[in-house]
Amino acid sequence: AKFSGRNKFSFFDVSMAQHALNKTEIVKHLRNSMGSDQFSIHYQPIVNLETGMIDKAESLLRWTHPELGYISPDEFIPIAEDIGLICELGDWVFRQSASQVKSWQEKFKENFQLSINISPKQFQNESCDLQEWTDFLSQKALSNKAVSLEITEGVMMNEGPMTEQRLGMLKLAGIEISLDDFGTGYSSLAYLKKLNVDYLKIDRTFIQNIHINHDDQAMCEAIVVMAHKLNIKVIAEGVENEAQLNFLKSVGCDYAQGYWFSKPVTSDDFELLLSENEAQ
């Protein structure tokens, strides 16, 4: 499906919209916008540092409202969680991503993977049906490794039988799990031990000064060594310059993601990135 781009609303002054943003207004508009074409997904490449190939991408939800303009997911996702819309939004992101990955696997590489952000509420809320996801993948004749799920420590913080059972079910089905924003929470190591994750994403606050700060270098290197001993692959987030990239390569980090390679882009633009990458 084609998504309506942001440009459609470019006549609208975004800075004006930002003044007006308040929670009540977002709540109202979010409810009314569900199921509309105001939502789209942007894709950001995740590059294999050994081969330089785009092996994966992260799906990032976008919402552009005709009056409010662009609203960041950091702003509307917590609201969607509060007012009970996160299952519907999350399902949409999953289905859209699964359909997209199917097409890119056929056109480019058969083991291409899309990484999807999951809110803790999707694990805790009984009305979110995660079992349907694995059914959807098999309907599309996709391997369960075609998608991976990015979870944060928040998933474990209010851990109940529900979370444990669902995580177990997804793991058993072969879906890969990434621990997102690693290092920013209170007990990352405890969760790392408890969760059987496949990837660990080093938060961009640790990457920011990695080319100049020795403490950050020491931490990143230690994270990579530890992860590898636990059989976990490491993805560095927020890589913005070549010096950061070179350091990450030198310590054996597996993947990197960030503006240095590309911002999150529309599916059409992502497809161009993939064809250029394949042609090299």
Q: How far apart are CA 158 and CA 143, in angstroms?
A: 30
Q: Does 154 bind ligand C2E (CB under 6 A)?
A: no
Taking CB under 6 A as the criterion, the residue among 46, 54, 57, 60 binding ligand C2E is 60
Q: How far apart are CA 14 and CA 213, in angstroms?
A: 36
Minimum CB distance to ligand C2E, residue 150 (Å): 6
Q: Does 61 bind ligand C2E (CB under 6 A)?
A: yes
Contact 140, 127 (CB under 8 A): no
Minimum CB distance to ligand C2E, residue 161 (Å): 22
Q: How distant, in Å, are the alpha carbons of 87, 102, 128 from that of 132?
A: 12, 17, 9
Taking CB under 6 A as the criterion, the residue among 57, 93, 151, 224 binding ligand C2E is 93
3-state secondary structure (DSSP) of residue 220 = helix
Contact 99, 57 (CB under 8 A): no
Contact 274, 242 (CB under 8 A): no
Contact residues for Ca ion (CB under 5 A)? 117, 150, 180-181
- What is the total count of residues that contact ligand C2E (CB under 6 A)? 21
According to DSSP, residue 223 is labeled H
> Measured from the CB atom, is 153 or 180 closer to Ca ion?
180
Minimum CB distance to Ca ion, residue 115 (Å): 7
Q: Which stretch binds ligand C2E (CB under 6 A): 29-37, 67-75, 127-135, 241-249?
A: 67-75
Q: Does 200 bind ligand C2E (CB under 6 A)?
A: no
In this structure, the chain runs to a length of 280
Q: Does 183 bind ligand C2E (CB under 6 A)?
A: no
Sequential DSSP letters for 19-37: HH--HHHHHHHHHHHTTST
- Could you say which of Ca ion, ligand C2E, none residue 93 binds, taking C-beta under 5 to 8 angstroms by partner kind? ligand C2E
- Could you say which of ligand C2E, Ca ion, none residue 155 binds, taking C-beta under 5 to 8 angstroms by partner kind? none
- Could you say which of ligand C2E, Ca ion, none residue 61 binds, taking C-beta under 5 to 8 angstroms by partner kind? ligand C2E
> Measured from the CB atom, is 205 or 209 closer to Ca ion?
205
Helices in the chain by DSSP H: which ranges? 14-20, 23-33, 73-82, 86-107, 120-124, 131-139, 154-157, 161-172, 188-194, 204-207, 214-229, 242-250, 267-279
- Could you say which of ligand C2E, Ca ion, none residue 69 binds, taking C-beta under 5 to 8 angstroms by partner kind? none
> Measured from the CB atom, is 149 or 227 closer to ligand C2E?
149
3-state secondary structure (DSSP) of residue 203 = coil
